[in-house]
Amino acid sequence: MELKDYLKQVAADLEYPTVAGKIFNSVFYGNDFETNAQSSDDAIYPLCQIVPPLSSGIDIHPLTTKNKDRWNVFVYFCDIQPENMDTTAEGNDDIIQRMRNAAKVYINKLNRSGFFDPITKAEFKHITFKFDATTAGVLMFFTLSERPGVIYC
């Protein structure tokens, strides 16, 4: 399975540990333009946008020649603002907190998969963004490094 498909599948399958049901009703892979185009017809909130990795690299072990792929991943977890209007920061606090919790569940699921080195640090940017609706949420970014790596020589 390709990385993008796996990242989408993890988001689509997420459930809160204490509440029954899925966290996200819509999961999209693409840049902001693509996600806005998709969401105009198909979005049911809350929504998760997997942004295509903007940069990648490899880690090379000098003794074993093992190479490990590495990606910088950006994921936007959001929900629609009440009444689809710009609101105060305080009005967005509940959405932002729910999306922060969803991001933590997402990271935990990636860590439990065993496919990647443990993610020990993720950064959040609290933002509002307008797709075809005004949303609030968190943009999470972290580095994903495959495990165990492949020997090419």
Per-residue pLDDT for 147 more than 90? Answer: no
The DSSP line for 26-51 is EEEES-HHHHHHHHHHH--SSEEEEE
Residues 26-75 pLDDT 10s: 999 988 777 777 766 677 889 999 998 877 898 888 888 888 889 999 99
For the chain, give the percent of residues with pLDDT over 70.
86
Residue 149 CA to residue 141 CA, distance in Å, equals: 22
Q: Which pairing describes strands 56-60 and 66-80: parallel, antiparallel, or unpaired?
A: antiparallel
pTM to 2 decimals?
0.86
Which domains does the chain show, CATH number per domain?
3-151 (3.30.70)
- Tokens standing for 77? 């977890």
pLDDT of residue 76: 93
